Structure 1
């Protein structure tokens, strides 16, 4: 009589059943994100220790399940009183981590990665799903639905997808919400590594060494929906946004830590006096080369910073032992030159009060004092040692230049990709005729009614707009969203007996101008760059040297073009705006590119 015979009824033999699903060969991710429970029975390493304690909470280490290449940490949380749980997903929930003997750290807060999981759809079509996957100490579902768990005891299983390296590891537990302080417990990694050799492989001979024929059983997969999950009181990892916020906070904290160099100083950092003082406190040298062309920290603070930043550097040099205030960069310019280019009153005052030399020339005849004498800060440098009063001719030329700049108004100008040409004395009709068209067939119309599609760049290059401008003398302006107004052929055609200056604001960089007189091109140049001693005086008069200004971007370049063509216009806003009504002329083939 068999052991169970008296407890069962006889039955017919079971019919052969179809295979529902078969255990397939291990995949690439086997054991990476979850224990290999389908293939191995783990070795158990028991341990019973309180690894964290609060007024009404105990966190116990109850042992380890050890797999061939990984471990599962088993904790049990006991609470004597259950209060209303705080909001789930709090960072002040239960935190668990391991510190390895090699210094590495893994925790239950290590974040998530995007995991791609291949699967076969209902029609047998291969597809890939993407899911967020925890890494580090990976929380597992202990296997009991919430309704079956004790109110006062909760299991917590955390999976480590590697064996700890040899040596002593440390288990760290903290739970601010339950007033459990950071608690450290030693872990014998050697014991866990030894136990890994005792893990039992359940199906060592399941897969044949050679591939099966195509008609053989195909391995399948089967998925179930988990209705439970790890305990909600585990502190979650930070989101990407939270990690980025922490990174910015850490950068801000490190920003003002004293250091003995000027590395990693960005453009705006030279205006941060507190940051500059922190670097100085760390021993950063005042005379170091901190920028291009041999610029010192004081050069850069004067160029990009504030009066407070300049003062922080000057105050640090209060003993006067360092030749700081009149230090020269590779181009022979002092910090006062940089401050003058910005017309920065606070920085200029601070440097002058520190004894900066204002009137020694630094680029041809130009000195910081001479630059400043053409601005609202002129009273600060008049009467200083070496001061030079500008001549009547220089004063008149500067006034004419500033009046031409002012003629383009105070509103922003759209210059990107603009081609514009100023031609002296000619009327609209005459310019239209010189461009090969009949004035009677070119009425003044708005851009929206132009005889071409502005979105078609190639076609639009065949058309230019012509508009008369008043002045003494006045003339005409030719505009286009393209380079043709500065083209040599166009300039030759319109400049017979007069002068024309065309320029193109290249959206790829640079502004290029061309001057034509009496039907011949006489000058081609890039304009708007910071001038050198060898450049024409007009580059200085039209303020190419000035970095910060109170006129619209590009207004001084258009004023320079007007002067080069001999125009003295009263109002250039319509001309520069190139969006108002004008006469549209189709260029003949001989004037096209």
Structure 2
């Protein structure tokens, strides 16, 4: 059903917070069950106000109806909208309904900033020790990288090796200081192909990070597979045109590509994948560091200055 037929034509994101506007539309015949191929209650859970959420919740057939495998309550928890989540629970939404990866909105909230959002009924399983540990580590990592601007940056986050070993595996050499100074001052005025050979390498807790603040080279298959020999590496390129792109390499081979670090989970994801997506939501750099277990205490490994700038040898890095 299109927006022209469901009564929500022209509805912008900001409109979901306007109770009078939403109520007028509903009274004039807007469909409380459908909006532009989705569900109005799901949009209001993320963008709306508690009053709008309560209004829509009172007009739908099922307050726990699914859209792409999730309920409106899940969307409110995921989007850090606790007031909307409380409004949905008050309207009868079930915080403990298992959804993606077996997680319920209520159990997911236990790992987030509002662990007391819902009272936990007797017999409901809380977080395991492993999950609590992951949540604490993620909170520290997200705080360490807070405010980092990493658009156009690529990373290779590799477990268990230091900067010196990463440089050896990449067969890299120290970068020319004059060329590097020019590149750091005006990266976009530099020869782009030449700039792709320059990366920074920094040792952090748990491993090391290879970074390139102006291009994709650090995340290419040829880099991440070389770094991952006998270990695990997560590559990230924050593409200014198409968004965050992830790549996993393990023991010298690609294990996953065209991934979306920091994005929402999808039906079929494992319990571990759902938790990681929630803990690092909207923070691709933290996800990339956290996936192989790196624990940098500040943003230097991502934004620089690194421990060392090096020049990669000439080769086709799109091949493993």
TM-score, normalised to structure 1's length? 0.47
> What residue in structure 2 maps to residue 306 of structure 1?
49
RMSD of aligned alpha carbons: 3.1
Measured in 2, the distance between the counterparts of 1:328 and 1:525 equals 26
> What residue in structure 1 maps to residue 239 of structure 2?
506
By how many angstroms is 1:452 displaced? 9.7
Measured in 1, the distance between the counterparts of 2:20 and 2:244 equals 38
Q: 1:336 aligns with which of 56, 73, 93?
A: 73
| 2:30 aligned counterpart, secondary structure | coil
**Paired residues for 1:108-119 under 5 Å:** none
Kept in 2: contact 1:359–1:385 (CA 8 A): no
Larger Rg computed on CA atoms: 1
> What do the CA deviations read for 1:208-233 (whole angstroms, capped 9, x no partner)?
xxxxxxxxxxxxxxxxxxxxxxxxxx
By how many angstroms is 1:405 displaced? 2.4
Q: 2:61 aligns with which of 295, 302, 323?
A: 323
> What do the CA deviations read for 1:415-474 (whole angstroms, capped 9, x no partner)?
221111122343333333333244xx45889964559962222221122122222x1x33
| 2:117 aligned counterpart, secondary structure | helix
Kept in 1: contact 2:157–2:208 (CA 8 A): yes
Measured in 2, the distance between the counterparts of 1:334 and 1:385 equals 23
Residues 325 and 491 (structure 1), Cα distance of their counterparts in 2 relative to 1, 3 Å cut: closer
Residues 437 and 406 (structure 1), Cα distance of their counterparts in 2 relative to 1, 3 Å cut: same
By how many angstroms is 1:372 displaced? 1.7
Kept in 2: contact 1:341–1:546 (CA 8 A): no
Is 2:302 the partner of 1:567? no
Q: 2:201 aligns with which of 450, 457, 466?
A: 466
Measured in 1, the distance between the counterparts of 2:234 and 2:45 equals 36
Larger strand proportion of the pair: 1
Measured in 2, the distance between the counterparts of 1:581 and 1:337 equals 39
Residues 323 and 384 (structure 1), Cα distance of their counterparts in 2 relative to 1, 3 Å cut: farther
Q: 1:532 aligns with which of 258, 266, 270?
A: 266
Unaligned runs of 5+ in 2: 1-5
Measured in 1, the distance between the counterparts of 2:36 and 2:232 equals 43
Residues 474 and 268 (structure 1), Cα distance of their counterparts in 2 relative to 1, 3 Å cut: same
Kept in 1: contact 2:153–2:216 (CA 8 A): yes
**Paired residues for 1:404-483 under 5 Å:** 404-408=141-145, 410-411=146-147, 413-438=148-173, 441-442=174-175, 448=181, 450=183, 454=187, 455=189, 456-469=191-204, 471=205, 473-483=206-216
By how many angstroms is 1:305 displaced? 0.7
Measured in 2, the distance between the counterparts of 1:475 and 1:584 equals 13
Measured in 2, the distance between the counterparts of 1:573 and 1:451 equals 17
Kept in 1: contact 2:111–2:279 (CA 8 A): no
By how many angstroms is 1:480 displaced? 4.1
**Paired residues for 1:275-290 under 5 Å:** 275-287=21-33, 289-290=34-35
Residues 364 and 432 (structure 1), Cα distance of their counterparts in 2 relative to 1, 3 Å cut: closer
> What do the CA deviations read for 1:521-554 (whole angstroms, capped 9, x no partner)?
333241233212322444322334887xxxxx53
Unaligned runs of 5+ in 1: 1-259, 548-552
> What residue in structure 2 maps to residue 489 of structure 1?
222
> What residue in structure 1 maps to residue 315 of structure 2?
590
Aligned length: 311
**Paired residues for 1:151-190 under 5 Å:** none
Measured in 1, the distance between the counterparts of 2:171 and 2:102 equals 47
> What residue in structure 1 maps to residue 275 of structure 2?
541
Measured in 1, the distance between the counterparts of 2:90 and 2:129 equals 30
User: 1 or 2 for the larger relative contact order (CA 8 Å, sep ≥6)?
Assistant: 2
| 2:136 aligned counterpart, secondary structure | helix
By how many angstroms is 1:586 displaced? 1.9
Measured in 1, the distance between the counterparts of 2:45 and 2:30 equals 18
By how many angstroms is 1:342 displaced? 1.6
**4+ residue runs of structure 1 moved beyond 6 angstroms?**
443-446
Measured in 1, the distance between the counterparts of 2:149 and 2:278 equals 19
Q: 2:36 aligns with which of 282, 287, 291?
A: 291
Kept in 2: contact 1:343–1:372 (CA 8 A): no
TM-score, normalised to structure 2's length? 0.83
Kept in 2: contact 1:493–1:519 (CA 8 A): yes
Kept in 1: contact 2:280–2:287 (CA 8 A): no
| 2:116 aligned counterpart, secondary structure | helix
Kept in 2: contact 1:451–1:584 (CA 8 A): no
Measured in 2, the distance between the counterparts of 1:535 and 1:583 equals 37
Residues 496 and 399 (structure 1), Cα distance of their counterparts in 2 relative to 1, 3 Å cut: same
Kept in 2: contact 1:466–1:476 (CA 8 A): yes
By how many angstroms is 1:334 displaced? 2.4
Larger helix proportion of the pair: 2
Kept in 2: contact 1:314–1:354 (CA 8 A): yes
Measured in 1, the distance between the counterparts of 2:160 and 2:127 equals 32
> What residue in structure 2 maps to residue 261 of structure 1?
7
